[in-house]
Structure 1
Amino acid sequence: MGNQNILALLLFAMAALHCGISESMDFIKGNCNDVIRLPCKATNRTTTYRYVIWYKIESTPNPIIKRKNGEETIFANLTSVSLGEKGALELHNVQPSDSGEYKCFLAADIGGRNDDSFIRLNISECLHVSTVYPSTMIPDDSCPAVDDITVNWAVLGLSLFSMAKIILCIVTVGVCDRVIFSTAIRKQEVMGSNTGTRSSWKD
C-alpha cells in the first residue's frame, strides 16, 4: 500500500513538473520573411558559462549555432542565423519550416552547473500575391500572317483589277458610241421625213 502511494506521488510530481515547464515556456509568433529574435532566458540566471549553444527540438535535438570564446560556429543554417546579446538567437527571413521548439543551453564552467531554457516559435504561412494585368496582345491567329500573301498573288490580283477596269471602259465606250450612232440615225430619218413632206407641199 505504501509503495502505491509513493508511486502515485511520484507520478503527480512528474505531471506537475511537466505542466509547470510547459506553462513557463515562452511562445513567439512571427510572419513569413520576418527577422525573429529568440531570447535565452537561461542567461538571466547566470552570466558565467563556457559556451552557449542553441538546438531545435525535433525528433532529436539538432544543434544550430554555438558561441565559445567569442567565436560562432553554425551547425545547421535553418535560414540565416546569428547570436545577439545575452545569447539570443536571431533568425533572418524566417519560413514556416522554422516553426518549432528551441533550446538554449549554457555549458557551465568547471565546478558550476549547466543551465538551459526553452522557447517555442510559430511562423505563419507565406502569402504569394501575384498581380495579373489584362493582356493587350493580339492573338496570333486573329490576323493573317504577312508571309501568307505572296508577291505573285499580289501581282495577279492587281492585274485582274486592271483588266476589269479596261473591260469596263471598253464596254462603256461601246455603249456610248452605239447610243450616239442611234441618235444620229434617228436625226437623219427625222430630217429626211421633213424634207419629203416639204417637197410634197411644193408640188
Structure 2
Amino acid sequence: MSARCYLHRLSAYLFVILSVRSSESLSSINAECGANVSLPCDATNQANLAYRSVVWYKLDGNKNGVVRKNQNGETVSYAGARTAMIGDSEELVLPDIRPEDSGFYLCHLSAKVGHSNKESKLLLNVSECVTQATPTSDSDWHVTDATAMPSSHEPCMGETTQVIQISTAQILSGFSAVAVVKGLLCVLTIWVLLAATRKEERRRMSFWS
C-alpha cells in the first residue's frame, strides 16, 4: 500500500471519529448553592454487562479522583477530595454543593477482561451563594439614657444599658410642673420690680419734702 493511500484512509478514519465525538451531547446540570445533587452516570447505558469498578473524576486541568466503588460495593474516597457518595445507579451524590464544585465530571466504568471500558462526562453549574440580611424595623429601637440603639436579646458582656420607659402621663406632669415654676418666677419678678419702683418713689418724695 502506498503512503498516499495510507494517509487518505487515515484521514477518513479520523474524520469519522471526530464526527462521532462532536455528535455526542454533553449533559449539563444547573443547581442552587447548598443543595444536594446527583450526577447520573450515562456510561451505564452503554455497558450491558458487569464491570469491575466505578470511578468518578473531576476534570479541572487534571483528572482528579473523587470517589471509587468496587465490584463488591465497597466505596473509597480519594485523598483531598470533597465528601461524595456513589448511588445504586452509579450516580455521584454531592451534598451541600458550593460554586467551587462547578466543573466537568467524568464517570469511568472499568470493564472486565476482554471488554471495553466506558466513560461519560457532564457539566455541573452551581449558582452563587446569596446571604439575605435581616432588616431592622422601627419597633426594634428603644429610648435609652444615652442614644437610641437597636434592641438585642443578647447584650454585650461588660456593657449595661438602662432603658427608661416614659409614659404619656409622666410627660404631661413634667410639662405642668415646668409651667407652674415659670408662672411663679414671673410673679416673683413682677413683685420685685414693683417693690423697687415703690422704694424709688418714696426716696424721691423724701428728697423733695
Q: Which moved more, 1:36-45 or 1:109-118?
A: 109-118
Give me the whole-angstrom Cα distance separating, in 1, the residues matched to 2:18 and 2:116.
25
Q: Give the greater-gyration-radius structure (CA).
A: 1
Q: CA deviation at 1:175?
A: 2.8
For 2:14, the equivalent position in structure 1 comes to 11
**TM-superposition CA deviations, 1:139-165 (whole Å, max 9, x none):** x899xxxxxxxxxxxxxxxxxxxxxx9
The one of 125, 129, 134 aligned to 1:126: 129
For 1:103, the equivalent position in structure 2 comes to 106
| Long gaps (5+) in structure 2 | 149-184
8 Å Cα contact 2:52-2:109 kept in structure 1: yes
For 1:84, the equivalent position in structure 2 comes to 87
Give me the whole-angstrom Cα distance separating, in 1, the residues matched to 2:97 and 2:62.
21
Partner SS, residue 84 of structure 2? strand
The one of 186, 196, 206 aligned to 1:175: 196
Q: CA deviation at 1:3?
A: 3.6
Provide the aligned length of Structure 1 versus Structure 2.
Answer: 157
TM-score of the superposition, structure 2-length normalised? 0.59
For 1:65, the equivalent position in structure 2 comes to 67
Partner SS, residue 53 of structure 1? strand
Q: CA deviation at 1:42?
A: 2.4
**TM-superposition CA deviations, 1:51-107 (whole Å, max 9, x none):** 2111112212110011222222111433x3112121110111112221111111122
Give me the whole-angstrom Cα distance separating, in 1, the residues matched to 2:21 and 2:13.
12
8 Å Cα contact 2:65-2:81 kept in structure 1: no
Q: CA deviation at 1:39?
A: 1.0
Q: Which moved more, 1:9-18 or 1:54-63?
A: 9-18
- Structure 1 vs Structure 2: percent identity of aligned residues? 27
Matches within 5 A, 1:162-201: 175=196, 178-179=199-200, 181-182=202-203
| Long gaps (5+) in structure 1 | 143-164, 190-203
TM-score of the superposition, structure 1-length normalised? 0.61
Structure 1 residues 132 and 106, CA gap change in structure 2 (3 angstroms): same
Partner SS, residue 51 of structure 2? coil
Larger fraction in helix: 1
Give me the whole-angstrom Cα distance separating, in 2, the residues matched to 1:89 and 1:115.
16
